[in-house]
Amino acid sequence: MAFNYEKHNGGHSQDSFWTSYSDLFLGLSTIFLLLYVVASLRTGTDALRSQIENQKLTMQVEELQHQLNMYESVKNDYIANQAPKDEAQEYQELMDKLTLLQEDAKTEKDRLVAEALENQKKVKALNKYQQMVRNVLNANKMAKSKIINRDDLIKDQDVEIATKEGEINNLQKDIDTKRQLIAQGEQQIAETRETLAKRQNELRAAYKTNKINKAKFEAKMAAVRSEAHNKVAALNNANAQYQQQLQEANAQLGQTQSDLTKTQGLLAQKEGEARGLQGKLGEAQGQLGAVKGQLQATQGQLNAAQGELDATKGALGHAQGQVGALKGQLGTMKGQLSATEGQLAQARAEIEARKSVASEIQKGFAKAGVKADIDLQTGDVVLDFGQAYFDSDSDRLKMEMKGVLEKAMPIYSKSLFGNPKISDKVSAVEIIGFASPTYQGRFVDPKSNKPEDKKALKYNMDLSYRRANSIFSYMLDEQNMKFEHQRDLLALMKVSGRSFLEVMKLQNRNVANAAEFCKLNDCKKAQRVIIRFSMDQKK
């Protein structure tokens, strides 16, 4: 970059100053471009990752839906084809009951919702009435409070009126006293004037009779006049004071009477207001009584509605209990159905395994030239010994039978224990022997209670077991046979003898001899050996 600060500071300005800034801007724009590209790539990667996760979730949902559909199909198939008739009928009845209960619950729910709305309206009306009662009660309390205040004020006014009346009486007494004092002063002034006139007359008479001289007369006259004037002046002053006090008392009496009049007017006004408040209180009490009546009626309706609601809730609880019980039964049925489905799945898996083993045995026997009747569903093998079967009343193996066993058993053992998916599930291999339904030239009837028939049946069952055991004994000796998985096979082997009724269906029992019986019934079908394997479904 050509931005040289020292060159610019030193005064060298040959390179362009703006060229340096353009290089700087170019570098910054490159950096921002790289940041934008990185952010875009990250956004695209996040979007791609989210799309992949959404696709995985969609596939999982589809797989789960497919599994649910498969389980539903298996359940329907089991109910339609494999479930016992009473179990299918019980399941259908439960489903019908659940449907009816759901409809009843929905109807009951709608009814309860309607009743709840109606009760809500009643509650609102009750709240309104309650508010009206509160307002009336509050107005009643306020009126009573005002009446009490008016009564207190009237009592105070009565006390004040009594006080004013007492003051008026006192002032009246004071005025009467002052009037009496003024009258007494006026009387004393009159008496003083009479005394003055009498002394003057006496002095004039004495002067006339010359008892006193003129100077003495004038001096005594002046003294008498002065004394009388002073008494009169003093009495006038006292009367003036009394007169002033009397005026003040009259003014105070007028003011007190005016206050008394105002107080009486205010008292009359308050008494009028109190009477008005008492009227309003009576009216409010009447309204309160009416509202209380309406409130009691509404409360009765509300109690009745509450009773209906409680009864409905009880019925709903009972219905819910029934639904719960049916749900429990349904859960039990579902559990049984799940267990049955699991058993069905295991049975199908076992059937598939048996088919696989039967197919392998059939292929192996075909290659080895072993004739056998193989049930491709169960895997049961019926070896065909042809004419080389056991002799009558004998359990000794013939050479031809040994040859068949030496060819067949290695193939059979490999088909079972050579497949790792099946070998650990095989629980037993059974050799089942059968004897013919005849004994000493006659038919053996297993349902007969005759001693000879019981003896013949016991002999044939024993012969069936001995024939199966002779095959097992020959396989057990490794000098006779040695093949792969021989020990695995022998470790699980069982030997048993069965009745001929298991493999043949009798057409006619009422015959005279064995030859006739065997013409009517296939006796050779009973002369067979079955090799059957069992599987443990838990493995």
Domain boundary among 17, 46, 65: 65
pLDDT for 125 beyond 80: no
Question: At 286, which helix (H) or strand (E)?
Answer: helix 214-368
Domain boundary among 15, 34, 65: 65
- In whole angstroms, what is the distance from residue 208 CA to residue 355 CA? 194
Q: In 395-450, which residue ranges form alpha helices assigned H by DSSP?
A: 399-417, 420-423
| Residue 296 neighbours by CB distance under 10 Å | 11
Comparison of pLDDT for 522 and 348, the residue scoring more: 348
pLDDT for 239 beyond 50: yes
Spatial contact of 361 and 416, defined as CB atoms under 8 Å apart: no
Average pLDDT over residues 168-183: 80
pLDDT at 242: 74
pLDDT at 1: 43
* Alpha-carbon distances of 160 from 165, 175, 264, 267, 302, rounded to whole Å: 8, 22, 10, 11, 56
Indicate whether 115 belongs to any domain: no
Comparison of pLDDT for 312 and 539, the residue scoring more: 312
pLDDT at 456: 78
CATH number of the CATH domain containing 132: 1.10.287
Q: Which domain holds residue 148?
A: 126-308
Residues 490 and 387 in one domain: yes
Could you tell me if residue 105 is left (phi over 0), alpha (psi between -120 and 50 degrees) or otherwise beta? Answer: alpha
Residue type, 238: A
Comparison of pLDDT for 513 and 488, the residue scoring more: 488
What is the pLDDT confidence band of residue 214, given thresholds at 50, 70 and 90? confident
DSSP 100-151: HHHHHHHHHHHHHHHHHHHHHHHHHHHHHHHHHHHHHHHHHHHHHHHHHHHH
pLDDT for 210 beyond 80: no
Indicate whether 74 belongs to any domain: no
Average pLDDT over residues 425-441: 80
β-pair type (426-434, 493-498): parallel
Query: What percentage of the chain reaches a pLDDT higher than 90?
Result: 2
Record the tokens describing residue 436, joined without a space: 């013919």
Residues 227 and 149 in one domain: yes
Structurally, the chain folds into a number of domains equal to: 3
Residues 409 and 520 in one domain: yes
What contacts 255, CB < 8 A, 6 or more positions away? none
**276-289: per-residue pLDDT in tens?**
767 776 776 777 67
- In whole angstroms, what is the distance from residue 320 CA to residue 328 CA? 12
Residues 237 and 133 in one domain: yes
Least confident of 1-5, 64-68, 89-93: 1-5
Nearest to 95 by CA among 74, 109, 75: 75
Q: Select, from the ranges 1-5, 143-147, 182-186, the one with the highest average predicted confidence (pLDDT).
A: 182-186
The rounded mean pLDDT for the chain is 77
pLDDT at 161: 79
Residues 296 and 387 in one domain: no
pLDDT for 58 beyond 60: yes
The owner of tokens 């057990």 is 476
pLDDT at 390: 83
Residues 387 and 531 in one domain: yes
Phi, psi of 373 (to 5 degrees): -100, 110
Record the tokens describing residue 139, joined without a space: 């107005």
Least confident of 242-256, 293-307, 422-436: 293-307
Q: Determine whether 413 is exposed, middle or buried from the number of CB atoms within 10 Å of its CB (0-12, 13-18, 19+).
A: buried
What is the pLDDT confidence band of residue 533, given thresholds at 50, 70 and 90? confident
448-470 b/e with 16+ CB inside 10 Å = b?
eeeeebeebbeebbebbbbbbbb
Nearest to 98 by CA among 276, 326, 282, 372: 326
pLDDT at 479: 82
Indicate whether 525 belongs to any domain: yes
Residues 150 and 259 in one domain: yes
Indicate whether 331 belongs to any domain: no
- In whole angstroms, what is the distance from residue 412 CA to residue 421 CA? 16
Residues 220 and 132 in one domain: yes
Indicate whether 391 belongs to any domain: yes
1: DSSP letter: -
Average pLDDT over residues 89-114: 81
**40-53: per-residue pLDDT in tens?**
888 888 888 888 88
pLDDT at 268: 79
Indicate whether 24 belongs to any domain: yes
pLDDT for 491 beyond 80: yes
CA 229 from centroid of its chain's CA atoms: 118
Helix (H, G, I), strand (E, B) or coil at 498: strand
Domain boundary among 65, 82, 111: 65
Residues 385 and 462 in one domain: yes
pLDDT for 202 beyond 50: yes
Comparison of pLDDT for 362 and 79, the residue scoring more: 362
Indicate whether 234 belongs to any domain: yes
Helix (H, G, I), strand (E, B) or coil at 213: coil
pLDDT at 520: 61
Residues 403 and 523 in one domain: yes
Indicate whether 108 belongs to any domain: no
pLDDT at 284: 66
| Radius of gyration of the CA atoms of the chain, in A | 70
DSSP 441-454: TEE--TT---HHHH
Residues 158 and 253 in one domain: yes
pLDDT at 469: 92
Record the tokens describing residue 419, joined without a space: 């497949």
pLDDT at 8: 47
DSSP 227-238: HHHHHHHHHHHH
pLDDT for 291 beyond 70: no
- In whole angstroms, what is the distance from residue 431 CA to residue 426 CA? 15
Residues 193 and 279 in one domain: yes
How far the first Cα of the chain sits from its last, in Å, is: 78
